[in-house]
Amino acid sequence: MKISIYYFSGTGNCLKIAKDLSRRLGGADKVALNYLTEKASFTENEKVIIVYPVYIFGLPLIVERFIKNSDFSYSATITGIATFGGVSGYAGRQFRKLTAEKKVKCEGLFFIKMPGNYTPLYEALPLPAQKELLRKAEEKTEKIADSISSNRICIEKDVFFISAFIFSLIYKAAKNKLPSMDRNFWTDQSCDGCSVCALVCPVGNISMKDRKPFWLHKCEQCFGCFHWCPQEAIQYKKSTIGRKRYRNPDVVVGEFLNSGTREKEAKWK
C-alpha cells in the first residue's frame, strides 16, 4: 500500500517529523505543501498523512485549502499530525470535520508539542527546553509510525468541546485577516538583500525590489522568512526586536529552497 506524507513547515518542525516518519515507514513519499501543491489526487488504497502546525488554534490556510481541494475518492485512509507550541486548540476537530466532509476515513489524529516559533508573542525557548521537547517529539513520532504501519485506528483526545468551540470562534474571526498580516513585517539596516526570505516562502509571498523584500499579502504566517533570515534583519512590528529566533536544528535552509518556493520569481527590480 502506498503511503504519502504531505507537510507544511515554516521553520522545520513539521519537515523533521515528515522525514522521520518517511524513514520509519520504509521511505514513504514526502511532499511539501506550497503554492504548487494546493490539491492532489490519490491512488487506490493510498494512505495519506498530513503533518501540519497549529496557527491561531486551527489549521494553516494552505492545509485547509489542500484538504478541501483534493480528491480523496480512492484513498483508503487519512491521518493528521498536528504540531503545536502552546495548545492544539481547534486544529484536531477542524481536521476531522474537513476529512469527514470529504468522506475519507480518518485513521489517525495525533498531537506533538514542539518548540514554538511565533516570536511576536514570545522568544525561542532556552536550548535545554528545546532539546527536551524535540527528544519527546522523536519518541512520539516513532510511536505514530508504529501505529500507522500496523493499520491501527488511533484518534488522540482533543481539547474539551467548549474549549474547542471558543478556539474555533477565534480562528474563524482571524483567518481572513491572516494573508494581510504580513504588513507588519519590516527590515532593519542589517538587511543585505540576499533574498533568502523570498526563496524559503512556501507561497511565493515575497518579491525583491531594490534588494529589499516586499510582502504581497497572501501570507500564511509561517514566519519562515523571519527565522531563516541570515542577518536576522526581518522584524514584526516592534515586539520581535532583540528576541531569540528558532529553527529546527535537524533541518537546513536548503531543504526549503528546493521544496517548491518561487525561486525564479524572487525578482530583482
Is the same domain home to 18 and 121? yes
The answer to the question of residue 61 being in a domain is yes
Question: CB–CB of 82/54 below 8 Å?
Answer: yes
pLDDT per residue as tens digits for the range 202-244: 999 999 999 999 999 999 999 999 999 999 999 999 999 999 9
Domain that holds residue 80: 3-164
What percentage of the chain has pLDDT greater than the value 90? 78
pLDDT per residue as tens digits for the range 143-164: 999 999 999 889 888 776 778 7
Is the same domain home to 82 and 136? yes
pLDDT at 263 exceeding the cut of 60 = no
Strands, sheet with 3-7, edge to edge from the N-terminal-most edge strand: 29-32, 3-7, 47-53, 77-84, 105-113, 154-155
pLDDT per residue as tens digits for the range 159-181: 767 787 898 898 999 999 999 99
Is the same domain home to 68 and 93? yes
pLDDT at 264 exceeding the cut of 90 = no
Q: What angle do CA 131, 133, 138 make, to 5 degrees?
A: 95
Question: What is this structure's pTM?
Answer: 0.92
Is the same domain home to 107 and 144? yes
Question: CB–CB of 60/219 below 8 Å?
Answer: no
The answer to the question of residue 238 being in a domain is yes
Strand ranges in 38-130 using DSSP code E only, listed in sequence order = 47-53, 77-84, 105-113
- As for how many domains the chain has, the answer is 2
Give the C-alpha separation, 29 to 31, whole Å. 7
C-alpha cell, 11: 521553520
